[in-house]
Amino acid sequence: MIVYDKGVEEFENFLLSEDSFDEMSLGKTESIMCQGNGYMCIRGYAEEAYPKKVATTLIAGTFNIAMENEVTELPNISDAFSMELLIDGKRFFLAENNVENYSKILNLKTGELTRTFAYKTEENEFRFVMRRFVSAADVHIAVSRVEITAMKKAAQIVVLSGIDNRATNSGECHLIENVRRFYEKKFAYTHLVTNQSKIDIYVNASHKIFVDDAELDLVPAPKMSRRTISAQYNLDVAAGSVVAIEKYISYYTSNDADEVRCDEPCASYKILAQKMAVGYFELLEESVEVLAAKLWERDYIKITSSEAIAQLGINYAMYHMFVMTPSHDNRMNIGAKGLSGEGYKGHTFWDTEVFLLPRFIVQNPAVARKLLEYRYLGLEGARRKAEENGFEGAMFPWEAANPKDGEVTPKYNGVDVYTGDQLKVITGDIEIHIVADVAYGVYLYNNFTADQEFMNSYGYEIIMETAKFWNSRLEYADGKYHINDVIGPDEYTEHVDDNAYTNYLAKWNMEYACRSYNDLLAKDPELLARLDEKISIGAVIETIRERAERIYVPVPDAELIIDQDRTYRSLEEIDLTKYRQAELVASIAKDYGMEQISKLKVSKQADIMVLFLLFGERWADEIKKANFDYYEAFCLHDSSLSLSTYAVLANDIGYERYGYELFKRALLIDIGQEKHSCDEGVHAASYGGVWQCIIYGFAGVRMIGEKLHINPRLPAEMEKIEFNMYYLGQKLCVKASKDTVVVANMGERAVAVIIKNREIEIAANAAVEA
């Protein structure tokens, strides 16, 4: 069972814990208690072996294709945290009848994972404390410490620990061994190479052994078997004595950016030796200080609430958004599962721009810029995809990995269990709203930051190349331009025409490109000339302008409903009660195939509601209410992206009670009690959704056009929300309560903010209350 209230004093609402051992649900805590720093992430798996254990270590950007007809994915790198323990000649592992007082705790504030329990054998009892962390101070380093106390009598303990290169992605092996050896009889070292992308990976591991805090000078017995290298220690432990095994590990790759590069990775064990001299607790303290500086002091969101789960939930979300984000390298982005598991193969989707990017734009724009630079680096692959499909401009991939690779969505995903036929994946071909989603990310970043250098170097080119794509993708009929045969955000409706979200975003994208073109023509014609020489935008800009005016966009009918697409409202209705009440998502798939679902009036997730989330100021509340009421009745929320979108909109239109209920459901997508909600990895974008519920929804922070608005609407359970944000390069400290808003400008320039519908200029180093 997941427990939320273990933290006290400085750790209140920072501890996520499990209070009993359950071998059948290991995957959940492996995912939600993963540890990382954006460079790498290690699942929170047990040191000891279990059949269902998934010991995954992922390093951002190390994509590889394991075999022919496979797609690129992040390879599972060597397992270095596992260790085998023999106690009095028997293998140590936990079962229902040999463990008491079990606790597994992830401290979100420190990043440390701790397991404590009493372990019983026929003749003895042992107290275990197993702790570890992945360093925020040095992204290559991870350390564990296993403390064992023999409670009743002396014991013999054998430790077999090192590096296991047998790691696979569900059976697919990506790594070729090059070197396995010990340095100085103490440092296990392996050099591996990904078989297709030819990325070198260097892994080191070494140990320190203590008895009652005294370090032993031991030379381990070296052990090697196929694809493993280990050190063996034989220890005699007196009753009441504490033996501690500290394990220091490091990972490096030839793909590392200059910021984190090691000049001599083959000699990286020497760096590890320096870390070992510092020690576990001191290295942990260094990591905690950096984590505080980069996250908890800079971006902390404080919620004063009658329900503590809100604070724990946003702390958990912020921790994971730090762990999963490769802020050190613009060649990398955020995967749909972060770095917590193999799900979605580490690929990047529209999740980043629509759900995760806003958190960084508002609170850490330097990281947001790198995430957008990744899309710029992907223009080559996007142009190639457009050309291969007979279009112009940039057709960004539905799934992205290495940015230059273009589309990496699998063509097939699984097989029909009865026919053996492969199940075709069509999202990479027709879920094209991703193109405008990328453009929207640029637009939002520009409005919040006014980063002209970014726009000049990257942003304008993305905006205009995406507009060129839409210009070529339109189809003319009946005096209007249409976008046919697509999948909108609601992925239960396939091969639809004139999806409202897609058409609106395409129209906006083209209009934004025209405005940007005019701005450059007036303010920087030299830059425009260089851009035109590169992408020939001048030859098509008038066509883009003319067609944008004539794109078909659905308008509210007499009942104020906007058609999600051409056919949705005429689809067959069925009783959705059992699917809406089901604990597991996608339960409808047990009764219907995808082709059948597409013919039913049922939604996987928010569709038009996402349109309202991005451009809600364009519609009156009466229209938003009508559409909320209509579409939510058919929505199963089978996507983790859905609940937060509906929660923000519910709060906006005055459904505060329901909005708060949806927020809590969104908050518990992964950390709720369902045992298998995230076995293959966490739902990364849902954490951005939780952030949006709090900052966009309850605190009321929105960029409307080119103006920042703050108009709080706190639920009954919340008294105050406090957070830092950045606007036009200035740091703002916001305290939003039910009655008042205080905004302090900590920057060097005045900024104008619309607070509670009144525009107020806030001088540098001054605060206003409204």
**How is residue 442 written in tokens?**
């640029």
Q: How far apart are CA 726 and CA 221, in angstroms?
A: 55
What residues are labeled active site?
491
Other Cβ atoms less than 10 A from the Cβ of 617: the count is 13
Other Cβ atoms less than 10 A from the Cβ of 102: the count is 17
Instruction: Spell out the residues 6+ positions from residue 724 whose beta carbon is closer than 8 angstroms to its own.
Output: 298, 299, 300, 363, 731, 732, 733, 734
Q: How far apart are CA 529 and CA 107, in angstroms?
A: 54
Q: How far apart are CA 359 and CA 363, in angstroms?
A: 6
According to DSSP, the β-strands at 155-164 and 228-237 are: antiparallel
Whose structure tokens read 């269990």? 417
Residue 132 contacts residue 113 (beta carbons within 8 Å): yes
In this structure, what are the phi and psi dihedrals at residue 125, rounded to the nearest 5 degrees? -140, 145
Tell me the angle at which helices 460-473 and 365-377 cross, rounded to the nearest 10 degrees.
50
According to DSSP, the β-strands at 302-305 and 718-727 are: antiparallel
Residue 487 contacts residue 493 (beta carbons within 8 Å): yes
Residue 186 contacts residue 173 (beta carbons within 8 Å): no
Other Cβ atoms less than 10 A from the Cβ of 240: the count is 12
Report DSSP state, residue 672: S
* Residue 645, H or E segment: helix 642-652
Q: How far apart are CA 232 and CA 210, in angstroms?
A: 15
Whose structure tokens read 């992605």? 169
Compute the C-alpha angle 608/488/635, nearest 5°: 55
Report DSSP state, residue 750: -
**How is residue 564 written in tokens?**
């999600």
Q: How far apart are CA 186 and CA 209, in angstroms?
A: 12
Report DSSP state, residue 64: B
Residue 176 contacts residue 168 (beta carbons within 8 Å): no
Residue 2 contacts residue 673 (beta carbons within 8 Å): yes
- Residues 648-682 as b/e (b if ≥16 CB within 10 A, e otherwise) read bbbbbbebbebbbebbbbbbbbbbeebbebbbbbb
Length of the chain in residues, anyone?
A: 770
Residue 610 contacts residue 351 (beta carbons within 8 Å): no
Report DSSP state, residue 128: E
- Residue 147, strand partner residues: 129, 244
Tell me the angle at which helices 621-632 and 642-652 cross, rounded to the nearest 10 degrees.
140
506 sits in the region (left: phi over 0; alpha: psi -120 to 50; else beta) called alpha
Whose structure tokens read 């032993």? 216
Q: 284 to each of 16, 88, 635, how far by Cα in Å?
A: 19, 32, 45
